[in-house]
Structures are given as structure tokens and as C-alpha cells.
Amino acid sequence: VRVYGSEASYYTGKLEGYLRYKEIPYERAPLNVAVQREARRRLGVMQFPVAVLPDGRWMTDTTPMIEWLESQHPQPAVIPPDPVQAFASRLLEDYADEWLWRPAMHYRWSYPEGAYLRSRQLASELTQDLPLPEFVKRFLIRRRQFGRFVRGDGVTAETRAHVEDTYLRTLDQLEAVLAVRPFLLGAAPTLADFGFFGSMFRHFGIDPNPAVIMRERAPGVYAWLARLWNARGSRARLEFAPGVPTEWGPLLREVGAVYLPYLAANAEAWKRGRRALDFETEGVSYRLPTSRYRVWCLERLRAAFEAAPPEARPEIRALLEQHGGWEPLFRTEGVRSGYDEAREAPFGSANIPVFGG
């Protein structure tokens, strides 16, 4: 597999961690401007990573990519066989993918040390074939990333402390889980680990400001990053805790009390054709761009519940209810993202970026 992406990219790191664990050989290549054009032509979107299979097919979006790769390389499975654990792992993957993106971008682009380092790196990786002086590229990258993903994603003087607190709390929550097990669910990684790996490995773990915090506050998380990067399916012991570990409680509460209500508010805004939404959580008001992609995330979580075996559904429902997540998961009625209706993902041309129309 050829993986086009950046050495500093959230989702490229997530996919690479997965491919390494599954021992699926890949090579990473920079997504320069020429490849970006080709990706847009073939996939209808430019986001990374983009993976090209040996048979020439192009894929994007790590969540459906991993799902499809699991169907092709079933062993060792990263989706636990127990349906309740499988649902909870998907839920954490989705939460980590989407809700930690804002703190990850904030810590990278709001602090001059991170912005300096990563604008240099992205200029040389992603725009190497663009005929502009390097200082211009770096200026444009910093301005774009900060404008689009920090200020444009609701980070203001009012929300900033809450955004940073989301990272700090996540460290504490993961630290507590990893104090009792090498991976989140047991002796081997699952979808939940790969979900958190995105932000933790290629953003928080390597960007100057959040990396210092991680090393000081959560050395267990820091150690887990290397453990996951070094994990190989052929030597994994697929031993998992029974049920959903009680140590997952604070993470699931965050999903139930904050993330699923956000997905509901986003879906409501999408349904009403609003370009932005006001979302209040834990006493803080965010103004956020409506995301069609995240309407699809909500649809997929609901579909995962519906697809669970009937005898497992009451237990999944009870787990969600216990953490406040059941009501917001099903709050918004009559929502249709219209995304990937032909069910082509991760292939096809239906892909849309997080902040796309």
C-alpha cells in the first residue's frame, strides 16, 4: 500500500499505527501538490491520508479504510468480538477522531513553537513542488491552519481554557486506563487505541507544548504511544478485559455528556440548513461550523447500534444511559447527511472533508 500523507498528520499517524500492527506493508510518500490534484480528481476530496492499493484503487478516510482493511485482513481483529466492547470501541474511536481534533490543532497552531516547527515541515512535505519562496509558504500555511482549524473551529478567548482542559482531562482519563492494562481494552490494541493514537502520536506527543505536558503529567500515555507503534499482530495476545472496563467510565462520560450532545446539535443545524451552530457545554459557549461529515458520523454510530445482535442491544443501551449518551445519540430525528449513500467509502467520489459543505 502506498500511503500519501504527512509525517505530522493526525490521521496519517492513525493509519500507519494500524498498518504496522496488522503488518500490512506500506510506504509513506509526501502528498505534494501534484498528488493532491490527483486525489481530488479520483476521490472528490483532498484530505489525507490517501492510500493507493497495489491494484490501483484509491482510498480515503481512516474510519471506513480500517473497516474495509479489517474485512480483507481479519486476523488479528482490532474490533473486539464481543458486541458491547465492539460498539464501545467504535464510539471511542469516533470521539477521539473528531473531538480531540480542536485541541490538537489549537496546541499546534496557537503556540509559536509548534507553529514554527510544523509550518516548516508542512512547507517542505506538502508544497515541495510549489514554486514559491519558503517563507511565503510557511506564512500561508500558518495563516490557513490557524484561521481554518483554530479560530474557524471555535477557539476564542472564552473557549480556550476549555479546549486545553479537554486535552488535560483526556490525558488523565487515558492514564487511569493504562495504569491497569497495556492497551485500552487489554493485552492488544483495538479501534479505541487507534482512535486516540491519531491525536496523541502525531500532535500531542510531538508538538513542543503539549508534549512537555504529556511527559510530565501522563508518562503512561507517553509509554503507550511507543508500545502501540511497536505492536505487531503476529506476536499479539488477544486477551481482553471482560465487558467494558470500569476505568473507561470517565471517557464514556465525556462522550455522553459532551461529544454526543455536540453531534446532536450539529445534526440539528445541518437539518435546518445552518452554516454554523451555537453549542454550549460545561458552561462554555462555542460557535462552530456545521459539519456534514459529522452528521454521517452520527448516522454511522446509530447504524452500529442497529447492527449489533438484538441480545446485545439492551446492554449497549444501558452502558450509554449510564454515561448520559443514549438520549443525545437518538435525539435528532429525520437527519440525512446524504453522504456516501452509494456506500462506496472508503473508495469512490463521495468523500467530503470535515468542514466541507
Q: List contacts with ligand GSH (CB under 6 A).
A: 9-11, 47-48, 61-63, 97, 353-354
Minimum Å gap between C-beta 66 and ligand GSH is 9
* Residue 152 grid coordinates: 474557524
Minimum Å gap between C-beta 60 and ligand GSH is 6
CA dist 122 and 130 (Å) reads 12
- The DSSP secondary-structure symbol of 247 reads G
How many helices (H) and strands (E) the chain has is answered by: 16, 6
Nearer to ligand GSH, 166 or 351 (CB): 351
CA dist 230 and 299 (Å) reads 34
Nearest residue (beta carbon) to ligand GSH: 47
Minimum Å gap between C-beta 245 and ligand GSH is 25
Nearer to ligand GSH, 152 or 353 (CB): 353
Nearer to ligand GSH, 138 or 323 (CB): 138
Backbone angles phi, psi at 240, to 5 degrees: -120, 155
Nearer to ligand GSH, 61 or 193 (CB): 61
Minimum Å gap between C-beta 235 and ligand GSH is 27
Q: Pick the closest to residue 80 from 69, 70, 72, 94 (CA basis).
A: 70
SS3 245: coil
Nearer to ligand GSH, 62 or 159 (CB): 62
Show the CA angle centred on residue 261, arms to residues 255 and 262, nearest 5°: 90
The Cα diameter of the chain in Å comes to 61
Q: Which residue has the cell 476549555?
A: 162
Minimum Å gap between C-beta 96 and ligand GSH is 11
Minimum Å gap between C-beta 14 and ligand GSH is 7
Nearer to ligand GSH, 255 or 316 (CB): 255
